[in-house]
């Protein structure tokens, strides 16, 4: 028979064992807690990642169709390595977002656009949603200033109504165009102007029930300006030199000037285009001249060769194989003599320059001479044969 004592032992021993096991587990848990706090273990929890904050306001500055646009998106705490992308929605057509966060371009369509962008800088990211209003392009007549026309030259310029849709109808509603020019219904201003003039006229453009008017200035200039002189005769050291530069077009207000290079020593260029002087040194000289008649300008590169001093002959023979003198241009030293040999067909020599020697009357089959004592340029003609002329240039011996 089991005693009361044995029965109590049988019940209490297991209970004591269970309590002991619970205490052991509690101690183990406490030890684990201490290790997690760093007092007994080397393991560390990863730090929390702070997201990037986009600081650019959600409502972006408004844009306008056909007008260049640009704005820089910003995020606090981001570095230069941050990369921006569009993560949702669409940008206005014509705009783009660069990796550096620059939203730029030229919008082509008006409207309201909503889109989301994402910025990533290593493990840190951020997003933001933006709204961008693109206004319609202004309706205006272009170009702002039309090119000038030239008398006698074909002219054509096309006007346009920027910002309008569909067909545009054009008309002249004030003033009169220069003679020779017309404005066609399609906006083409064309023709061949015949007078030099400046006119201000008012034009009207109608499209989509929208009307625009504007004054434009139409300026007709003289014929296109160009420089005709492309080569120059050689000069000689110590000998007077003169050459008139020639141009085509422009008007009487033309001013000539040297715009590049250097003239030969002793030479000058006048505002009237006369290249003249007495060269003092031999050599080849390249330079550029300009002819200006507001607003037209023409330029030409020229070369002038100056040869060593010229030795004038003391005698020259002029013959008449036909109704002309040869040489027609004779050089002679001061005090020298020119001899004319007249053929069977009669001619005369009549001087037109002051200080010339005596004329030679109409004669044939003869040889007659004249002496030129002083330097100068002496012109003469055969008066019975129009166009038969000659020149004697007298210089120092």
Chain position carrying tokens 């309590």: 19
> Both tokens of residue 364?
């044939």
Q: Is the peptide bond before 99 cis (omega within 30 degrees of 0)?
A: no
Question: Three-state SS for 31?
Answer: helix
pLDDT at 43: 54
Task: Give 362-394 as a DSSP string.
Answer: EESSEEEEEEE-S-EEEEEE-TTSTT-EEEEEE
State the Cα–Cα distance between residues 135 and 139, nearest whole angstrom. 12
Cβ contact 250:150 at 8 Å: no
Residue 345 and residue 323: Cα distance in Å, rounded?
Answer: 9
Number of neighbours of residue 156 by Cβ within 10 angstroms = 12
Q: Is 38 left (phi over 0), alpha (psi -120 to 50) or beta?
A: left
Judge residue 28's burial from the number of C-beta atoms within 10 Å of its C-beta, 0-12 exposed, 13-18 middle, 19 or more buried.
exposed
Backbone angles phi, psi at 72, to 5 degrees: -100, 120
Which SS3 state, helix, strand or coil, does residue 85 take? strand
Binned average pLDDT, 10 residues per bin, the chain of 397 residues:
47 47 41 43 65 94 93 92 95 96 94 96 94 90 93 95 86 96 96 95 91 95 94 92 93 93 97 95 97 93 94 95 95 95 98 96 97 95 96 85
User: For 9, which DSSP code?
Assistant: H
Nearest of 308, 345, 312 to residue 329 by alpha carbon = 312
pTM attached to this predicted model: 0.48
Give 368's Cβ-side CA count (13 Å radius): 16
Rg (CA), the chain: 50
At residue 367, the pLDDT reads 98
pLDDT in the model for residue 46: 66
Cα(112)–Cα(110) distance, rounded to whole angstroms? Answer: 7
pLDDT at 45: 63
Q: Collect contacts of 383-391 with beta carbons under 8 A, ≥24 apart.
A: 383/348, 383/350, 384/346, 384/347, 384/348, 385/323, 385/347, 387/323, 388/323, 388/324, 388/325, 388/347, 389/325, 389/328, 390/318, 390/325, 390/327, 390/328, 390/329, 390/330, 390/349, 391/328, 391/329, 391/330
All domains of the chain in start order, with CATH: 53-135 (2.60.40.10), 140-221 (2.60.40.10), 226-307 (2.60.40.10), 315-395 (2.60.40.420)
Question: Which position has the token pair 């002249």?
Answer: 172
Name the DSSP letter for residue 25: H
CA distances from 346 to 316, 357, 359, 391, 393 (A): 21, 20, 15, 20, 25
Strand 376-381 vs strand 389-395: parallel, antiparallel, or unpaired? antiparallel
């Amino acid at each position: 028979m089991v005693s009361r004592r044995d029965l109590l032992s049988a019940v209490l021993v297991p209970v004591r064992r269970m309590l002991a096991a619970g205490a052991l587990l509690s101690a183990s848990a406490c030890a684990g807690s201490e290790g997690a706090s760093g007092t007994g273990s080397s393991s560390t929890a990863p730090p929390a990642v702070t997201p990037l904050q986009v600081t650019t306001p959600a409502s972006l500055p408004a844009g306008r169709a056909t007008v260049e646009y640009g704005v820089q998106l910003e995020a606090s705490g981001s570095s230069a390595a941050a990369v921006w992308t569009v993560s949702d929605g669409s940008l206005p057509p014509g705009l783009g977002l660069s990796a550096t966060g620059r939203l730029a371009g030229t919008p082509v369509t008006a409207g309201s656009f909503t889109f989301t962008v994402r910025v990533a800088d290593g493990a840190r990211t951020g997003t933001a949603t933006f709204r961008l209003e693109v206004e319609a392009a202004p309706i205006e007549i272009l170009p702002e200033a039309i090119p000038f026309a030239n008398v006698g030259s074909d002219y054509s310029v096309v006007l346009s109504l920027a910002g309008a849709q569909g067909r545009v109808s054009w008309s002249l509603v004030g003033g009169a165009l220069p003679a020779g020019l017309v404005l066609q219904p399609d906006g083409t201003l064309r023709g061949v102007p015949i007078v030099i003039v400046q006119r201000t006229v008012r034009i009207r453009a109608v499209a989509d029930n929208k009307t625009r008017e504007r004054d434009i200035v139409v300026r007709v200039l003289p014929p296109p300006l160009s420089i005709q002189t492309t080569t120059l005769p050689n000069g000689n050291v110590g000998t007077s030199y003169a050459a008139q530069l020639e141009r085509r077009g422009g008007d009487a207000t033309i001013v000539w000037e040297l715009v590049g290079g250097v003239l030969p020593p002793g030479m000058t260029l006048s505002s009237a285009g006369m290249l003249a002087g007495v060269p003092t040194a031999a050599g080849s000289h390249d330079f550029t001249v300009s002819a200006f008649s507001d607003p037209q300008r023409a330029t030409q590169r020229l070369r002038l060769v100056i040869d060593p001093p010229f030795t004038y002959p003391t005698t020259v023979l002029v013959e008449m194989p036909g109704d002309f003198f040869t040489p027609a241009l004779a050089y002679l030293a001061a005090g020298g003599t020119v001899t004319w040999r007249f053929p069977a067909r009669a001619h005369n020599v009549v001087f037109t320059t002051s200080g010339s020697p005596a004329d030679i009357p109409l004669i044939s089959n003869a040889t007659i001479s004249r002496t030129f004592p002083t330097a100068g340029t002496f012109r003469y003609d055969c008066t019975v044969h129009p166009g038969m002329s000659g020149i004697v240039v007298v210089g120092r011996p």
